[in-house]
């Protein structure tokens, strides 16, 4: 079924996200639509969160990481499905 190591899969996912974000940064920089103070604050939080989550993920068994990812994805799917079905 392809790759089995969750850490390798996460590395590929992170690389893809970096490429997508780089394309967005180039686009919005050329359009002069970036507020740089907020960028610095949000980028700092993203870096701290990324390193913190990698530190925790490397200490956990892959089963628990997969279970957490599936649980979050299922919860979000149910939430948005119910929100769409019953708009308030």
- Domains of the chain: which residue ranges? 1-34
CA dihedral 6, 58, 69, 64 (to 10 degrees): 100
User: Given this model, what pLDDT does residue 6 score?
Assistant: 78
pLDDT tens by residue, the chain, 88 residues: 577 787 788 888 889 999 999 999 999 999 999 999 999 999 999 999 989 988 998 899 989 988 999 999 999 999 999 999 887 7
Task: Please state, in angstroms and rounded to a whole number, the distance separating the CA atoms of residues 30 and 24.
Answer: 10
**CA 81/CA 86 separation, integer angstroms:** 9
- pTM comes to 0.61
Give residue 36's pLDDT: 92
């Amino acid at each position: 079924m392809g790759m089995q190591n969750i850490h390798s899969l996460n590395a590929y996912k992170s690389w893809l996200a970096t490429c997508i974000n780089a394309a967005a940064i180039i686009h919005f920089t050329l359009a002069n639509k970036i507020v740089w103070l907020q960028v610095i604050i949000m980028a700092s939080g993203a870096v701290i969160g990324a390193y913190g989550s990698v530190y925790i993920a490397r200490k956990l068994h892959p089963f628990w990481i997969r279970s957490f990812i599936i649980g979050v994805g299922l919860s979000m799917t149910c939430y948005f499905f119910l929100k769409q079905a019953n708009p308030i």
